[in-house]
Structure 1
Amino acid sequence: MRSSRRSVSRAGRSLLAWRARQWWVAGAGALVTAAVVGIPTDVVPNPLFGRSVPVQWWNYPALALTSVLAGLVLGTYVTASRTERMSRFGAGGAVLSFFAVGCPVCNKLVLLLIGTSGALSYWAPLQPLLAVVSVALLAEAALRRLSNATVCTPGRARLTRGARS
């Protein structure tokens, strides 16, 4: 419990130390994520895509949380070294959110595996759970990346316990 509080505290300090460029990348990343997930799933109304099943109330907060958290994760890469790899939690959460907010009968993979009635009977009830898991994965990715950013930032000395400022 104590280490998770410490991680949240370090993540908060890291966010407070962000420069304007990181905030711009985070904001742009959130908007791009909202468009990439929201337009094809028709959660964001558009003339290009449609849904057979209406958008559910929880699709909107799931898309909003996914977008904000994905933007924050993307913002952590502004000062990251070029050799640093993308977080598996962040990538998994972003992909999972697409399946969570999408139309259950518009997903070709689901239709092939369990058919239309299976998509409505089994897949649709699982989608809110997928949304929660997606947001949890993105939150974990953001927390890890932000809390580690204060421990070791490229170009700065490593902060250790007992180090003097």
Structure 2
Amino acid sequence: MPFLRAHTRLAMRALARWGAARRATAAALATATALAVGLPTALIPNPVFGREIAPEWWSYPLLAATALLAGVVLATYVRRPAAPPAPERVSRWGAAGGLLSFLAVGCPVCNKLVLAALGTSGAMAYWAPLQPLVGAASLALLAVAAVQRLAGEAACPADRAASAAAAPSTN
């Protein structure tokens, strides 16, 4: 657990150093994520997509948390003007979390893969009760991705050198 606390502390430090432009980028990416997940799953009502089964109460908070975490994760891939380009490590945790979130909030009988594997009654009897657990797993994966990306940003020597060069001298 000390390892997790240290990474979380580094992640919070990196997040606190974000400027207004980076926060706005994260907000825009969070909005895009909410639309990308909410429209096809019909959590956001629209004329193109529909649902056979009404959404569960937990689908909306899950969509909001997914959007916020995905916005943070995606914003870590946007290069800051003052920082030199750092080698990118692609985090598969965030992508897996986003996919699981999409599956968690989607209509259980609208998912063609679930219907093909379990049928309509199986989708309702087996998949629907698992969806909240899939949603929790998706948030955990997105949180791990966010902490990993942010902690790497705070611990990167190139970022520290750029921050020190941009900081005003205290002499």
One fold, TM greater than 0.5? yes
Q: Residue 92 in 1 paired to residue 96 in 2?
A: yes
> Does the Cα contact within 8 Å between 2:34 and 2:67 map onto a contact in 1?
yes
Structure 1 consecutive aligned stretches of length 4 or more whose deviation exceeds 6 Å: none
1:79–1:154 CA contact under 8 A, matched in 2: no
C-alpha separation in 1, matches of 2:108 and 2:55: 10
- Per-residue CA deviation, residues 33-73 of structure 1 (Å, 9 max, x unaligned), is 00000000011111111100001000001100000000000
Identity %, equivalent residues: 53
Structure 1 unmatched ranges of 5 or more: 159-164
Deviates further, 123-132 or 71-80? 71-80
TM-score calculated relative to the size of structure 1: 0.90
Q: How many residues align?
A: 160
Alpha-carbon distance between aligned partners in 1 of 2:9 and 2:39, rounded to the nearest angstrom: 35
Distance 2:86 2:14 in 1: 19
Aligned CA distance change for structure 1 residues 67 and 153 (closer, same or farther; 3 Å): farther
**Bigger share in helix:** 2
* Higher mean displacement: 89-98 or 13-22: 13-22
What is the CA–CA distance in structure 1 between the aligned matches of 2:160 and 2:8, rounded to whole Å? 21
What's the TM-score once normalised by structure 2's chain length? 0.87
Secondary structure of 1:150 counterpart: helix
Q: Which runs of 5+ in 2 are unaligned?
A: 163-169
Alpha-carbon distance, 1:20 to partner: 2.2
Structure 1 match to 2:56: 56
